[in-house]
Chain A
Amino acid sequence: QQPVQSPQAVILREGEDAVINCSSSKALYSVHWYRQKHGEAPVFLMILLKGGEQKGHEKISASFNEKKQQSSLYLTASQLSYSGTYFCGTDTNDKLIFGTGTRLQVFP
């Protein structure tokens, strides 16, 4: 059961904020977030373990609500380099299943 991400696509101006959501129908042990630029491999951003924690990486942070089986990625004051497709990966029983993806485009 592939996790569902929303929105499917986001267009931003530099400096604007965005939130990407990831929802699973299964109980989760952890959630990973990756960014993939066109023609490149996915790059790891962060991992969240169950416990409702929130983690941050510069101006990118994420939360994990274990009870709701959801995670959200927050991009603050977006930069051109944030453009790409964001995938969540949900860990259920030692297996990572990647989400449907959210395409983010940041313009000057």
Chain B
Amino acid sequence: EAGVAQSPRYKIIEKRQSVAFWCNPISGHATLYWYQQILGQGPKLLIQFQNNGVVDDSQLPKDRFSAERLKGVDSTLKIQPAKLEDSAVYLCASSLHQGPQFFGPGTRLTVL
């Protein structure tokens, strides 16, 4: 069974630029999550989708972050404009409802 796919794996941008990350969940998983993990900390939930609807986006900085999950499968997370403090690993995960979460390899973002 294929796992969660993410791209790109690494991205370096300058502050105030924009960036987008892509995620393809495990086939059949209705729930998709985007997490931000800063070095030395646990993953922090940014947004949770159930099919193509948003379940929770309470910790998403909506002035600069946006996410969508068209057709209830793939998802993209965008940052515009990026700040230095956005440097982190962005993890995508998927699950069957309330079950174990399976994570993709992540995208390491560096904002200079």
Contacts and interface: CB of A to CB of B under 8 A. Distances in A.
Instruction: Give the residue among A34, A40, A41, A95 with the most B Cβ atoms within 10 A.
Output: A41
Interface of A: 2, 30, 32, 34, 40-44, 47, 87, 89, 91, 94-101
Interface in B4-54: 33, 40-45, 48
Instruction: Give the residue among B41, B44, B48 with the most A Cβ atoms within 10 A.
Output: B41
A94 B55 contact: yes
B100 A47 contact: yes
B36 to A, nearest CB: 11
B4 to A, nearest CB: 8
B42 A100 contact: yes
B25 to A, nearest CB: 13
Instruction: Give the residue among B48, B55, B98, B105 with the most A Cβ atoms within 10 A.
Output: B98
Contact of A47 (B44, B99, B102): B99
